[in-house]
Structure 1
Amino acid sequence: MYIIKNKFIFLGISGLLVAASIFSIFYFGFRQGIDFAGGTLWQIQSENISGQEFLQEMFPESSVMPVEGGSFLIRMPEITEEQHQESLKVLQSRFSGLEELKFESIGPAIGKEVRDRAVWAFLAVLVGISLYIAFAFRKVSYPVNSWKYGIITLVTLFHDALIPAGMTAVIGYLGYGAELNTNFIIAILVVMGFSVHDTIVVFDRIRENLRLGIGKNEAFSGLVGRSIQETINRSINTSLTLVLVLVFLYFLGSPALFHFILVILVGTIVGTYSSICVASPLLTLWKRSGNI
């Protein structure tokens, strides 16, 4: 009952985080990866490269970023294979033992197509999950209509996606390499899948208690609070297991996966919070507002 009694505090915290995330997204914007914006990503390594000044002078329209292991990541507009080979020869003549670790070049048309498909996939997942929840709870029409479960699930999914997205915008703006790319979309979809699972656990306990007539003589908010108490240990323990794995992966895994893992890590924590402290309180508020 503690969560339901203090629902405005928890909803206020979520509101502040969502507002800050929306502000970050619109103010800072996203640094788009080449798979969305198009361009060339080139990673080279040589013990003779002491700094990035020469690379920045050679590629004035590019951004050069040092990477762990003594390599450099060059991000530039799309170049042809002929330009790639010419530049590689110049670098190899300037720096002995130069090694090319990665070269990716994607045209803007392909990048736009990938971006559009990612957006449609994200929207399709949102709609599909909401419809499934509404269908799964179709027999629960009192005291809250079944479609409201679906709408509230949709709201919590937006909540769980916006906060990691806002974090990514800030990290990208600060120059730590976080980008809006395919990996980011996959991470958000993973977060949404985990979050909806947690939300369903709580909603299903509410449905079961309603079906069995448990708490028929108590207010709906009391039944929801008791349902949260019955499921909170399972939700937290499941999330904690995943969080521990992600923390180890973040500190011990490949640097290339840092931001991917960070989005899932933050999203998992936020998703657990929303399934317990946002979804169910919203359900009680909507019920109290009337039978809409």
Structure 2
Amino acid sequence: MLHIINNRKWFYIISGTAIAISIVALLIWWLKPGIDFLGGTYWEFQFKNQIEKSVIEQTLKQNIQGDITIQEQGSLAFSVRTIDISEQDHQKLVQILKTQDATFEELRWETIGPAVGKTLRDKSFRAIAFVIIGISLYVAIAFRRASRPVQSWKYGLITVATLFHDVIIPLGVFALLGRFKNVEIDTNFVVAMLVIMGFSVHDTIVVFDRIREKLRTPNTQMAFPELVNQSLNETITRSVNTSLTVLLAILAIYVWGSHTLQWFIMALMIGISTGMYSSIFIASTLLVDVWKWQQRRNN
């Protein structure tokens, strides 16, 4: 049997370090918002022949009146971020680049007005807030019959704490990626965060439910920390196998899928991994520490 509860301080140190790095990265650099939130035009294209970035930059600057940011997405692919461009001007630019090199191929074109970007940003924040509130209420109600030795609403608070753990780490990673790799976040990233929350809660509730079953067993003589540790050992294989199955599936999409989903899949992989870790090593250990704090206060 794994003695997870007895070694919980080590797990707190690992999580605390990851959270601290993430918070520092967010405070210094924050996230780099994409076109979905800022508005403007995002354009990706590639050539089959070798072409210099400076040539593309010069061509576009001659035909676009506004700021332009061009990045290489490989030896033959480029991404362009600029002002809001009409469809008519878009087609003109396509013809100009095709005239320059007939192997031109458009991969992605998105244009969003600033008002739409603000609306998407506001709705994203509201969606995340509603999910957190809804999950907290659900856990508190679902575990209302397991109010001893820890009150049911504290299960909800611990679930929110693990949600924070599972979301802040991917946010920190993407703050670093935005700073050093110019990775931007979009609505797909928000969807990834919501999926991570759901997956994290799912794993945490599996463990909490096993604890609840054992607490409701008549004449149980185990001390609460021992009961929690045994529940973790009984559910750890299921939690790991479920998470690894999902990770293998999305890893295949990351390797062989569309490059436009690359960072969406990356966020999912980071979040699901941290969710698996927190459901096993953080959520239930926090429950034991809450119980111990109650014991000291009552004495």
Q: What SS does structure 1 have at the residue aligned with 2:79?
A: strand
Which deviates further from its counterpart, 66-75 or 28-37?
A: 66-75
Q: What SS does structure 2 have at the residue aligned with 1:290?
A: helix
Please state if 1:198 is matched with 2:226: no
Which deviates further from its counterpart, 44-53 or 275-284?
A: 44-53
Judged with a 3 Å threshold, the aligned counterparts in structure 2 of structure 1 residues 83 and 36 are, in CA distance, closer, same or farther, namely same
2:50–2:75: 8 Å Cα contact kept in structure 1? Answer: no
One-letter amino acid of the counterpart of residue 53, structure 1: S
Which residue of structure 2 lines up, in the alignment, with residue 61 of structure 1?
67
**Residues 76-115 of structure 1 correspond to what in structure 2 (within 5 A)?**
76-115=82-121
**Residues 240-259 of structure 1 correspond to what in structure 2 (within 5 A)?**
240-259=244-263
Q: What SS does structure 2 have at the residue aligned with 1:4?
A: coil
Please state if 1:30 is matched with 2:35: no
Please state if 1:285 is matched with 2:286: no
Report Cα offsets for 1:100-140 as digits up to 9, x if no partner: 33321111111010011011101111110110000000111
Give the whole-Å Cα distance in 1 for the aligned partners of 2:294 and 2:230.
22
2:39–2:84: 8 Å Cα contact kept in structure 1? Answer: yes
Give the whole-Å Cα distance in 1 for the aligned partners of 2:129 and 2:86.
34
Judged with a 3 Å threshold, the aligned counterparts in structure 2 of structure 1 residues 62 and 213 are, in CA distance, closer, same or farther, namely farther
- Residue 54 (structure 1) shift: 2.1
Q: Percent identity?
A: 44
Judged with a 3 Å threshold, the aligned counterparts in structure 2 of structure 1 residues 267 and 85 are, in CA distance, closer, same or farther, namely same
> With structure 1 as the length reference, what TM-score do the two structures score?
0.92
Aligned residue pairs total 290
- Residue 51 (structure 1) shift: 1.4
> With structure 2 as the length reference, what TM-score do the two structures score?
0.90
Judged with a 3 Å threshold, the aligned counterparts in structure 2 of structure 1 residues 145 and 37 are, in CA distance, closer, same or farther, namely same
Judged with a 3 Å threshold, the aligned counterparts in structure 2 of structure 1 residues 246 and 102 are, in CA distance, closer, same or farther, namely closer
**Residues 1-292 of structure 1 correspond to what in structure 2 (within 5 A)?**
2-47=3-48, 50-57=51-58, 58-59=60-61, 61-68=67-74, 70-175=76-181, 177-213=182-218, 216-290=220-294
Root mean square deviation of aligned Cα: 2.0
Q: What SS does structure 1 have at the residue aligned with 2:78?
A: strand
- Residue 48 (structure 1) shift: 5.0
Give the whole-Å Cα distance in 1 for the aligned partners of 2:105 and 2:287.
58
2:203–2:239: 8 Å Cα contact kept in structure 1? Answer: yes
Q: Which runs of 4+ in 1 moved over 4 A?
A: none
Judged with a 3 Å threshold, the aligned counterparts in structure 2 of structure 1 residues 11 and 83 are, in CA distance, closer, same or farther, namely same
Structure 1 segments unaligned to the other structure (5+ residues): none
One-letter amino acid of the counterpart of residue 21, structure 1: S
Give the whole-Å Cα distance in 2 for the aligned partners of 1:257 and 1:158.
24
2:37–2:117: 8 Å Cα contact kept in structure 1? Answer: yes
Report Cα offsets for 1:236-259 as digits up to 9, x if no partner: 111111122222222222211111
Give the whole-Å Cα distance in 2 for the aligned partners of 1:213 and 1:203.
18
